[in-house]
Structure 1
Amino acid sequence: MHKAHLANYFNMTKKYLFWCVNEHVDFRIPELKSVASIFKIPLKWIEQPNEDPFVILEMDSESDAQKIVSRCMLVRAGYELWGDGCSMEELHASIRQQPASLIAPHITKDKSFRVRVDGFNKTLHSADKLAKINSLSYLQFEGPVDLCNPTTQLNIIEYYGLDNTDVPEQPYRVFLGRCIGQGGRDLIARYSLKQRNYIGSTSMDAQLSFIMTNLARLEQGNLVLDPFVGTGSVLVSAAHHGAFIWGSDIDFLTLHARTKPTRVKQVERAAHESILSNLEQYGLGSQYLDVAVMDCARTAWRTQPFLDAIITDPPYGIRESTTRVGKEQDKSRDLTTQQKKLRRKQRLQHVRTQEVIDKYNKTSYSGNEDSNDSEDGATEEELANSSGCCPPPNDTLPTINADRCDNRLADNPSLVHYPSKVNYSLSDVYKDLLNFAASYLVVGGRLVFWLPVFRDDYRSDQVPRHPCLELMYNCEQILNCHSSRRLITLQKTRSPKVGERAEAHVEELTDKFREKFFIAAQMTRDERIARKSQFSRDKRGQGLTYRLQNNSKAKHIEQCSAPGPQVSATPEKNTEGNGDICDSVDSSKANFIDNNSCITGVNFGGKLRDENNIQCAKDFLIVEPNNEKRVSEVGTTILVSKFPERKQSLENKLDESVN
């Protein structure tokens, strides 16, 4: 009988529950699909919710489910689903309907077990957990209990929704599953930036770096490039998955760890800090190819598809400037005829280059190293700065001593060329990036990059596009109430044709970001809540609609006992006080109580602090929550608190101020 159960167990299609972390909600499904495509595992979705932190899939093999779970960063754990329902009664009924071949192989005498009870969005008491565990006695476990390292671990998971301000008494869903594996969340602590040798102000955190590599579908032996490599945070995650990595950046100081340290109390960079040292720190030095100081707009590589993936985070112009090699040109007027003649004359002077080169070589590579002057009296600096100096033909180049050249460059800085740079608009950044990807990616290779946007102004046509690149995923990471960035994943479908170029209409962020940032800083708390409520989720995945609803309760003040007539309480701006002024008539201690928001008292503020105006006052000030210091010394007081445990202390201060 036992062998028959095993045969049926391995031949049947089973359901699997993937329990996700409650953050980066937009990234969950794209990451699952990308990881499944890496292992060529088909996915059959049973439940694919948008916000709930779980998905249910039907799969043929437990090993396939384990592969997906172990690679995903946003999956906390995977379970073989034994039952689910909207209550414990429905859960038990679902478990009893399962075939014996699903459960029997895991509760035999030779297998130890453990049962855990977890609640999402609610803390469960030990007595409740124990009662739920005992309710599974009908499963008839035959093996011993092992709380440390069990062979079979069962989990009862109760889901109480996303609203942590209105937690129901009974769960919305209850699941029972056998744990088959944990997600890749352990890599977050292992590759944390806190312990990394070399980091900068824009280093990507480990979790997002691994999500990017998963969306790029990296496999062992892939060739990956980051054209805006910076400190190489993304490359570390790519090397972890076995990819060979290299990068480029226009910032020489960042590539060589010469920038200002970003760690607190670190005065200067350590000698060992570098991109290579980051890889060697994790034993990944063999995956490192090299990094090059290069302009992404002017690459030095032959146009040929050889890259399996391009993963990058371009600079936005906020913390890091966007520049490229170039020279500003005055296009306001054309050159005059005289200027054209002068430039033509300057170009004709290059005819004398061979003579200048002979003098330079005779001085530079003669046997007398101490001589700084040529035979005709011209110095090396004069020869180097000559307008006609250009490289000699390859067949006439002498053998150069590297150490000697380094010394000569140090002694004469004028021989070193520093290319001029110009501003690099975001639209041009993404155009060049997509054109580069279309030329150098292999067919099927992916480009993964971040796109900064303003949430109010975002439109789908702002996503850069190229005829050869297909948009796979567009995931949003919310940064604040006005800005976010989107992780764009493009896949190359074919080779580019002649004349096909990328299109990008990306809004510049430098000036507008500062403007929006300071406007947001001046918003009141209520305005921020109303602003956030326009969007369905915040960066933690928590719904925001309930916040606006609770805030509207705080605005609704019901007078329980107060003399005088009642008038509408429409707030208007108090130019002399701090807060909103609401109309009311009161000359004695009043008590305004709302059981939902715990609002008590009335406070005269601003111009109404004069005792002579109290008797005929028609205005009072609503004090902001958590501001207990604004208790008026004259007249009646209003104190507003959203927290019930603070109600008594506020009422005591109310009595003190009136007395």
Structure 2
Amino acid sequence: MPEYLMRLVQVHESFRKAELQALAELAGVDMEFVSYSEDSPFCIISLASPAAARALITRSILSQAIYELWGHGSSLPALHASVLATSPPHWPSCATTSFRFTLDSYRGSRSTASQTTLIESFSYLPFTGPIQMRNPTHSFRIFEDYALGEKEPRYLYLGRFIADSGRQAKTTYDLKKRSYISTTSMDAELALVTANLSLAGPGKLFYDPFMGTGGFPVAAAHFGAVTLGSDIDGRSIRGKEDGKNVLGNFKQYNLTDHYLDSFVSDLTNSPVRGCLGPSPLSAGNAPGGWLDGIICDPPYGVREGLKVLGIKEGRGEWRKEMHLDRWQDEGYIPPKRPYSFEAMLDDIMHFAAVTLVEGGRLGMWMPSANDQDIELDVPTHPFLEVVSVCVQPFNKWSRKLLTYRRLPSNSILTSTTPWIKRREDPGLVHANDLNSFRKKYFEGFREKEPEAMSSGPLAEDAAST
């Protein structure tokens, strides 16, 4: 198949390949990676046609554009040799039309005179049409990839422009321009990437069980999905009296026709139901769902301990009776009890297993500590297949975007694993006892100690908090 050059953005590197794979699946195009490195913004892929290239790039957030690859090499002479060897079949379509050449130097630069000399070195191409810098029929770009500190490029490419990406959406939905946000609102760029990896699109129904101010539903709606959401705190949904609320965000972007509704709920007491079958998990009685996608950033329980609706054990029957009598009162706030972070992850997995359609996706964020002795395992479920694990690093901790695919029922092997994991009520335990990540967050993450310093005063001094 013909080869194409992707000009990627050099941010969120571990997300880029997963996004392209998801978009290829969504567009229904066959794509193969010929050359890819997280250290470079240049990626070579093979596709069937320019139409396939346009279908792939149109909604990409972590790419800039895609080009028909005319040649590449580790030096300028090697580039020219590659162009002469591979591009002649493309020459007739460009011979008499308007065109232009531009230069993209990554981690390097050239003087104006050097740029002109470089561009003129391609004068052997048989183009007789006019040079037109604005809106030409064909736009060619020379790409240079420099190593840090080097004065000469380590690799060069020549490509004919095919199409721009959908990265402008990052600016459209920038949180600085959004009317209603909170301190925990997900960055717009990553919210859009999450929607891409979860295959949000027209004709699909997406749900966020921790919607907050609605960042993920807005991102899914941008790509054409119908969205709904819920949150344990209704105040985040209702917002303020001046119209700054979740619905106001959809109005701001003219997406109200993609907003189904929202409601107050927690994941363990949700009116959202799947098609439940018998308790043993097996291929013959697998549940069927109705949601095409679930995208969420569950609370990490750092600012305050995780809670779900309910009354703590040991607080007395009179408290239960009091709430049974008052639940319809105006301004009523239901009681909450401590909730384990690990139990929440399991509950999300089960919820996705029974509500997603076959092939539907779950995109879920979770925290992960770096270089210390507590690491949360990637949750698993027999009905869900891990598609990708993307990492956003910070200092001593990071967070992962986990993407899962709901497996077809006929592909699931018979198992005695129960669908629902019933855990003992945590009672009056402290929030830190239910959340190892929260405990480490406040204690201070500690780097792993070298074996030679596993104990003693030097080891204590070496540990950073």
Which amino acid is the alignment partner of residue 272 of structure 1?
G
How far apart in 2 are the matches of 1:450 and 1:78? 29
2:59/2:167 contact within 8 Å kept: no
Whether 1:148 and 2:62 are equivalent positions in the alignment is no
Shift of 1:326: 1.5
- Answer yes or no: is the 8 Å Cα contact 2:203–2:226 preserved in 1: yes
Report the residue type matching 2:347 in the other structure. Answer: D
CA distance 1:390–1:98, change in 2 (3 Å):
closer
The answer to whether the Cα contact below 8 Å between 2:8 and 2:62 also exists between their aligned partners in 1 is yes
Tell me: CA distance 1:46–1:386, structure 2 relative to 1, closer, same or farther (3 Å): closer
Alignment partner, residue 102 of structure 2 = 116
- Superimposed CA distance per residue, residues 251-291 of structure 1 (whole angstroms, 9 cap, x where no aligned partner): 0211111xxxxxxxxxxx56110111111111111011111
**How high is the TM-score relative to the length of structure 1?**
0.60
> Structure 1's 30 and 390: CA in aligned 2 closer, same or farther, altered over 3 A?
closer
Report the 3-state secondary structure (helix = DSSP H, G, I; strand = E; otherwise coil) of the residue aligned with 1:124.
coil
Query: 1:84-106, CA deviations, whole angstroms, 9 ceiling, x for partnerless residues?
Result: 11111111111111253212212
Which of 15, 23, 27 is the equivalent residue of 2:15? 27
What is the Cα deviation at residue 314 of structure 1?
0.3
Is residue 2:5 matched to residue 1:77? no
Instruction: Give the Å deviation of 1:53.
Output: 1.8
Tell me how far 1:309 sits from its aligned partner. 0.3
Could you tell me whether the CA contact under 8 Å between 1:466 and 1:502 is conserved in 2?
Answer: no
Select 1:499's aligned residue among 418, 426, 445: 418
Aligned residue for 1:477, secondary structure, equals: strand
- Classify 1:19/1:63 alpha carbon distance in 2 versus 1 (closer, same or farther; 3 Å): same
The alpha-carbon deviation at position 170 of structure 1 amounts to: 1.7
Q: Paired residue for 1:43?
A: 31
Deviation at 1:31, TM superposition (A): 0.6
CA-CA distance at 1:301 after TM superposition: 2.9
Q: 1:458 to 1:36 in 2, by over 3 A?
A: farther
Residues 36 and 436 of structure 1: CA distance in aligned 2, closer, same or farther (over 3 Å): same
Q: CA deviation at 1:169?
A: 2.4
How far the C-alpha of 1:460 sits from its partner, in A, is 8.0
- Separation in 2, partners of 1:390, 1:48: 60
Q: CA deviation at 1:469?
A: 0.6
| 1:418 positional shift | 2.8
- The 3 A distance-change label for structure 1 pair 137 and 506 is farther
Q: 1:202·1:319 contact (CA, 8 Å) conserved in 2?
A: no
Counterpart position of 1:219: 201
Contact 1:82 1:98 in 2 (8 A): yes
Q: Is residue 307 of structure 2 the alignment partner of residue 323 of structure 1? A: yes
For the residues of structure 2 that align with 1:249 and 1:484, how far apart are their CA atoms?
24
Inter-CA distance 122–216: structure 2 relative to 1 (3 Å threshold): same
Aligned partners of 1:274 and 1:285: how far apart in 2? 13
Q: Identity over aligned residues, as a percent?
A: 34
Q: Structure 2, unaligned stretches of length 5 or more?
A: 276-288, 424-432, 451-457, 459-465
Alpha-carbon distance between aligned partners in 1 of 2:323 and 2:126, rounded to the nearest angstrom: 94
Cα distance change of structure 1 residues 296 and 141 upon mapping to structure 2, 3 Å threshold: same
Out of 120, 139, 143, the position equivalent to 1:134 is 120
Distance 1:48 1:224, change over 3 A: same
Aligned counterparts of 1:194 and 1:184: Cα–Cα separation in 2: 19
CA apart distance, 1:325: 0.5
The answer to whether the 8 A contact 1:113-1:152 is kept is: yes
From 431, 444, 460, the equivalent of 1:516 is 444
CA RMSD, Structure 1 to Structure 2 (Å) = 3.0
**One of 455, 463, 466 as aligned partner of 2:378:** 463
TM-score (norm 2): 0.84
For residues 463-511 of structure 1, give each alpha carbon's deviation from its aligned partner in whole angstroms, at most 9, with x where no partner exists. Answer: 111111111101110021x100010001111459772346999952223
Residue in structure 1 matched with residue 259 of structure 2 by the alignment: 288
Aligned residues: 422
CA contact (8 A) 2:391 2:401 kept: yes
**Contact in 2 for aligned 1:465/1:503 (Cα 8 Å):** no
Could you give the per-residue CA deviations for residues 108-127 of structure 1, whole angstroms, max 9, x where no partner exists? 1xx21110011100122111
Look up the equivalent residue of 2:47 and give its one-letter code: M
Contact 1:315 1:321 survives alignment (8 Å): no
- Where does the alignment leave 5 or more consecutive residues of structure 1 unmatched? 1-12, 258-268, 332-338, 347-383, 392-404, 411-415, 521-529, 532-571, 573-659
